[in-house]
């Protein structure tokens, strides 16, 4: 292990450039540790975003050596074998400054994909009893642990080509609700994910599934949406 890491860090907005830093190498160092060292010891004007540092909040994702990753759980050992790191903001999103991407469009798409739970019960009703073993619940459970880090969105080639495309995370969210037997969103949600910005535009490149730090498979959820949407269209319910 060499004593110093050579780090290229994106500075400025979309028309910015990389700036070089040297950071002391440490045991069990994460990429977020490297960024934090730069901000605290080398250049306090560096803008970046993080909160929990333990892989729960989804706020520290960046492009590390070309691939989107959650930086708090990415060890330098794993991504910088030659002692070099390049750290940039997430792709497919506007850059606010330095390593901070603007996530508004990403989360607006969750709403556009019908990402809100629509209940059919009132507080006067009893609890819904859902068997954890039921097929539908297991499908929903498979996608429910998304932390909204936008790694999938930044890795998706369809988002890069079709800016209106809802993207893997929003569609994964819609799929967990379509699979939720308590949800009453029905055909309205399927219409929201069936247009030319929706699930049918997925090319099944599977970059989202490859990069998801939670090991979810948005691709599988999108395939489920394609089936649900196709069935609804053939039944005249769309």
Partner 1 sequence: MSARGETLLWIAQRASAAVLALCVTVHLVTIVYATQGGLSGAEILGRTRGNVAWGAFYVVFVLAAAVHAPIGLRAVLAEWFGWRGRARAFLLIAFAVLLAGLGLRAVAAVFA
Q: Which residues bind partner 1 (CB under 8 A)?
A: 158, 161-162, 190-192, 194-196, 198, 200-201, 226, 229-230, 232-234, 238
Cβ-based nearer residue to partner 1, 43 or 237: 237
For every residue of the chain, which 3-state class applies, written as one string? CCCEEEEEEEECCCCCEEEEEEEECCCCCEHHHHHHHHHHHHCCCCCCCCCCCCCCCCCCEEEECCEEEEHHHCEHHHHCCCCEEEEECCCCCCEEECCEECCHHHHHHHHHCCCCCCECCCCCCCCCCCCCCCHHHHHHHHHCCCCCCCHHHHHCHHHHHCCCCCCHHHHHHHHHHHCCCCECCHHHHHHHHHCCCCHHHCCCCCHHHHHCCCCCCHHHHHHHHHHHHHHHHHCCCC
Closest separation between CB of residue 8 and partner 1, Å? 31
Shortest Cβ 233–partner 1 spacing (Å): 4
Which residue, 131 or 204, is less far from partner 1 as judged by CB? 204
Q: How far is the CB of 167 from partner 1 (least distance, A)?
A: 14
Q: Which is nearer to partner 1, 40 or 227 (CB)?
A: 227
Query: Cβ closer to partner 1: 93 or 158?
Result: 158
Q: How far is the CB of 88 from partner 1 (least distance, A)?
A: 24
């Amino acid at each position: 292990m060499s004593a110093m890491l050579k780090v290229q860090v994106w500075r400025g907005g979309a028309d910015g450039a990389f700036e070089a830093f040297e950071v002391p190498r440490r045991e069990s160092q994460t990429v977020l540790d490297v960024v934090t060292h730069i901000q605290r010891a080398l250049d306090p004007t560096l803008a970046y975003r993080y909160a929990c540092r333990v892989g729960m909040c989804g706020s520290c994702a960046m492009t590390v050596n070309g691939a989107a990753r959650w930086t708090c759980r990415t060890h330098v050992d794993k991504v910088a074998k030659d002692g070099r790191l390049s750290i940039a903001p997430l792709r497919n999103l506007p850059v606010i400054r330095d390593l901070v991407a603007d996530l508004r469009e990403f989360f607006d798409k969750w709403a556009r994909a019908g990402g809100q739970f629509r209940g059919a019960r009132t507080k006067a009703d009893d609890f819904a009893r859902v068997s954890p073993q039921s097929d539908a619940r297991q499908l929903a459970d498979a996608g429910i642990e998304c932390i909204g880090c936008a790694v999938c969105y930044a890795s998706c080639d369809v988002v890069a080509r079709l800016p209106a495309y809802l993207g893997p995370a929003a569609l994964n969210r819609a799929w967990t609700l379509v699979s939720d037997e308590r949800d009453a969103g029905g055909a309205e949600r399927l219409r929201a994910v069936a247009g030319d910005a929706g699930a049918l535009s997925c090319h099944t490149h599977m970059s989202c599934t490859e990069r998801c730090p939670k090991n979810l498979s948005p691709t599988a959820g999108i395939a489920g949406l394609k089936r649900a949407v196709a069935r609804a269209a053939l039944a005249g319910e769309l």
